């Protein structure tokens, strides 16, 4: 009957192929043997055994195909796992970079605040010195006015 199972190239499915021109073991035997076999059923039993062997071979091929597919899936999953681990490492590095930049920004903000405070101190010192200079200027102006009055009084005398 069906002597071979062959794997089709495109679909990967198992298909049956009939061997039309080959002689089966039953046709090679002599006629007397066939009569004896058919009387006790050995020929039919041998035919069934051959079919079972073919079915076992077919099942074996199916198992091999399943194992191959599983192996490919395992490889794909391992590849994806490696890719995901690499991405995770990259993301951790990006996170570390972001944390470092945030620390840098915080340091810059602290430095700016410190410089601002120093600028406010300098402004306060300038205002204090300006007030002192204004006081000195007022004293000088007052003394200058007195000296002028004294001179005018002397001249008028």
- The residue ranges of every structural domain in the chain are 2-80
> How many other C-beta atoms can be found within 10 angstroms of the C-beta atom of residue 36?
13
- Provide the mean pLDDT of the chain: 82
Q: What pairs with residue 5 in β-bridges?
A: 16
Q: Average pLDDT, stretch 128-144?
A: 92
State percent of the chain over pLDDT 70.
75
CB neighbour list of residue 61: distance below 8 Å, 6 or more residues apart: 5, 7, 14
Task: Name the nearest CA neighbour of 16 among 28, 24, 8.
Answer: 8
CB neighbour list of residue 18: distance below 8 Å, 6 or more residues apart: 1, 2, 3
Cα–Cα distance for residue pair 146/157, rounded to 1 Å: 16
pLDDT-derived band at 38 (thresholds 50, 70, 90) equals low
- pLDDT value for 150: 87
7, 61 Cβ separation under 8 angstroms: yes
Is the pTM of the predicted complex or chain greater than 0.75? no
Q: Average pLDDT, stretch 36-43?
A: 68
> Lowest-pLDDT range, 39-43, 58-62, 127-131?
39-43
**Tens-digit pLDDT profile for residues 54-74:** 999 999 999 999 999 999 999
**Upper half-sphere CA count for residue 112 (Cβ side, 13 Å):** 6
pLDDT-derived band at 75 (thresholds 50, 70, 90) equals very high
* Residue 109, both tokens: 């903000």
Cα–Cα distance for residue pair 24/31, rounded to 1 Å: 14
């Amino acid at each position: 009957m069906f002597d071979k199972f062959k794997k089709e190239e495109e679909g990967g499915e198992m298909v049956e192929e009939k061997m039309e021109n080959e002689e089966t073991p039953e046709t090679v035997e002599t006629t007397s043997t066939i009569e004896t076999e058919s009387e006790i059923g050995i020929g039919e039993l041998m035919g069934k055994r051959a079919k079972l062997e073919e079915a076992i071979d077919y099942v074996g091929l199916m198992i091999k195909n399943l194992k191959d597919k599983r192996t490919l899936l395992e490889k794909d999953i391992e590849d994806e796992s490696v890719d995901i681990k690499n991405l995770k490492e990259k993301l951790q590095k990006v996170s570390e970079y972001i944390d470092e930049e945030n620390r840098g920004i915080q340091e810059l903000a602290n430095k700016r605040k410190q410089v601002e405070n120093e600028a406010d101190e300098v402004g306060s010192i300038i205002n204090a010195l300006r007030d002192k200079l204004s006081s000195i200027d007022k004293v000088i102006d007052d003394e200058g006015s007195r000296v002028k009055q004294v001179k005018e009084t002397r001249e008028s005398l």
